[in-house]
């Protein structure tokens, strides 16, 4: 999700000077659009929103956000979280140490890591829908970010990635690989998941 806001966001101008709890590359992108990124721990988000120390915050999705009570102090809930399309779990291990492990141990670690990733996404796929319904019943104002913000952020992001690629060869290598894969995957998604989801959503709305 795109986060909780104390006031309505109607245009890019509404981002100017906005103190927003967000980190990582998403924070860097929005900073170029006028946002003032804030690094705040999970336990400090609610009181910061309540006091007005920050104007907005993104954390995770409906299930976790509901438990932290953000809707009580910031009623505007925006989507999508375009800087973080999904959650992927990562497990890092020293390659030299990895090579020392028996093949059976490597297989066990790969299997456990894969299951942790799948279980995490399935967990939220099951818990987020009812949580979102509860939040809407509690009076949360759910809105999509204006296209001017999403489209503008996309252009800013490409410029930022070009800057980072020029400075960091490792970033450039990973980014170019990811973009090439994305181009291929997007074509497939249009004729698979996107087409299917669109058809089902259309039928459910009848």
Euclidean distance between CA atoms 130 and 75, whole angstroms: 18
| Tokens representing residue 64 in the block | 């976790």
Question: How many Cβ atoms are within 10 Å of 93's Cβ, its own excluded?
Answer: 11
Euclidean distance between CA atoms 181 and 143, whole angstroms: 30
Q: Are 35 and 20 in contact (CB under 8 A)?
A: yes
CA dist list (Å): 2 to 26, 60, 76, 190: 11, 9, 10, 23
Residue 85's pLDDT band, with cuts at 50, 70 and 90, is: confident
Report the DSSP pairing between strands 76-79 and 3-5: antiparallel
Q: What is the pLDDT of residues 146-181, one digit of tens each?
A: 999 999 999 999 999 999 999 999 999 999 999 999
Q: Answer with the residue of higher pLDDT: 195 or 205.
A: 195
What letters, b where the CB count within 10 A reaches 16 and e where it falls short, cover 58-72? Answer: bbbbbbbbbebebbe
Q: What is the pLDDT of residues 32-47, one digit of tens each?
A: 999 999 999 999 999 9
Chain centroid to CA 30: 13
């Amino acid at each position: 999700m795109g986060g909780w806001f104390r006031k309505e966001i109607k245009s890019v101008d509404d981002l100017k000077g906005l103190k927003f709890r967000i980190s990582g590359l998403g924070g860097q992108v929005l900073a170029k659009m006028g946002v003032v990124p804030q690094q705040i721990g999970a336990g400090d988000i609610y009181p910061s929103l309540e006091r007005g120390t920050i104007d907005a915050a993104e954390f995770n999705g409906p299930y976790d956000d509901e438990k932290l009570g953000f809707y009580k102090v910031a009623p505007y809930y925006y989507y999508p979280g375009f800087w973080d399309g999904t959650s992927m779990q990562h497990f890092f291990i020293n390659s030299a140490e990895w090579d020392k492990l028996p093949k059976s141990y490597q297989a066990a670690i790969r299997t456990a890591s894969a299951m942790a990733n799948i279980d995490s996404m399935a967990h939220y796929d099951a818990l987020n829908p009812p949580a979102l319904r509860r939040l809407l019943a509690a009076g949360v104002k759910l809105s999509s970010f204006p296209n001017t913000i999403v489209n503008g952020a996309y252009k800013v992001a490409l410029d930022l990635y070009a800057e980072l690629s020029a400075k960091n060869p490792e970033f450039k290598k990973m980014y170019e690989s990811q973009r090439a894969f994305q181009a291929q995957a997007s074509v497939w998604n249009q004729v698979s998941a996107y087409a299917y989801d669109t058809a089902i959503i259309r039928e459910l709305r009848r």
